[in-house]
């Protein structure tokens, strides 16, 4: 009997709160991240899709720490919402997410969920540098957030 290719196990994803200013439900975000990861792995069209690292870490951090990463790795000043490193780290600035949530009339939780999916899509090879690519990526990330939330609530 012929054996097929070895089965590759899906990556693990871990959410860690490394900031103290805002309360976040890490357990809820962990469940969301697991579903969002599974959905991101199903994406079959787009740029040259990359295989995800064996482990993905979502780190919820302060604006101060984000500004340091932003300066060190992207040579830009001030905090940003999310930075993704191709070896599997997604850094999310919680104060920036809170400000953005207030401006958009949404919740902090929803904003963090969006940033997690955004980071996962970057790991898969999506980019948002051009206006066209940004539109495609934002449309896809919105679909994934909605689908992951449906899975969590059992609506799927």
Total of domains in the chain: 1
Query: In which domain, by residue range, is 55 found?
Result: 12-153
- pLDDT band at 156, cuts 50/70/90? low
| Angle ∠(9,13,19) on CA atoms, nearest 5 | 170
pTM: 0.91
pLDDT in tens, 40-98: 999 987 778 888 999 999 999 999 999 999 999 999 999 999 999 999 999 999 999 99
pLDDT for the residue numbered 45: 77
- Please name every residue paired with 16 in a beta bridge, in sequence order, or none if there are none: 59
The answer as to whether 91 is a domain residue is yes
pLDDT for the residue numbered 95: 98
pLDDT for the residue numbered 8: 67
Instruction: Enumerate the H helices of 8-130 as residue ranges.
Output: 26-42, 63-74, 94-104, 108-124
Tell me how far apart the alpha carbons of residues 28 and 20 are, in angstroms, rounded to a whole number. 17
Q: Regarding beta strands 12-17 and 55-61, do their DSSP bridges make them parallel or antiparallel, or are they unpaired? A: parallel
pLDDT for the residue numbered 91: 98
Cβ–Cβ under 8 Å, residues 41 and 123? no
The answer as to whether 44 is a domain residue is yes
pLDDT in tens, 136-151: 999 999 999 999 999 8
- Phi-psi bin for 103: left (phi > 0), alpha (psi -120 to 50), beta? alpha
The answer as to whether 2 is a domain residue is no
The answer as to whether 114 is a domain residue is yes
The answer as to whether 6 is a domain residue is no
Tell me how far apart the alpha carbons of residues 34 and 149 are, in angstroms, rounded to a whole number. 11
* Mean per-residue pLDDT, 114-133: 94
Domain CATH number, residue 31? 3.40.390.30
pLDDT in tens, 3-31: 666 666 789 999 999 999 999 999 999 99
The answer as to whether 116 is a domain residue is yes
pLDDT for the residue numbered 4: 61
Q: Any idea how long the chain is?
A: 156
pLDDT for the residue numbered 141: 95
Does the pLDDT value for residue 2 go beyond 80? no
Can you read off the two tokens belonging to residue 118? 């955004």
């Amino acid at each position: 009997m012929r054996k097929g290719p070895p089965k590759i196990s899906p990556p693990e994803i871990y959410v860690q709160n490394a900031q103290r200013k805002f309360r976040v439900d890490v357990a809820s975000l962990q469940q969301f991240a697991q579903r969002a990861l599974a959905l991101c792995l199903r994406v079959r069209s787009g740029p040259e899709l990359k295989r995800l690292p064996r482990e993905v870490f979502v780190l919820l951090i302060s604006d101060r720490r984000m500004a340091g990463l932003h300066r060190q790795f992207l040579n830009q000043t001030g905090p940003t919402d999310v930075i993704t490193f191709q070896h599997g780290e997604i850094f999310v600035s919680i104060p920036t997410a809170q400000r953005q949530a207030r401006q958009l009339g949404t919740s902090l939780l929803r904003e963090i969920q969006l940033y997690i999916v955004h980071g996962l899509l970057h790991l898969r090879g999506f980019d948002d540098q051009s206006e066209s690519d940004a539109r495609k990526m934002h449309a896809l990330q919105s679909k994934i957030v909605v689908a992951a939330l449906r899975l969590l609530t059992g609506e799927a």
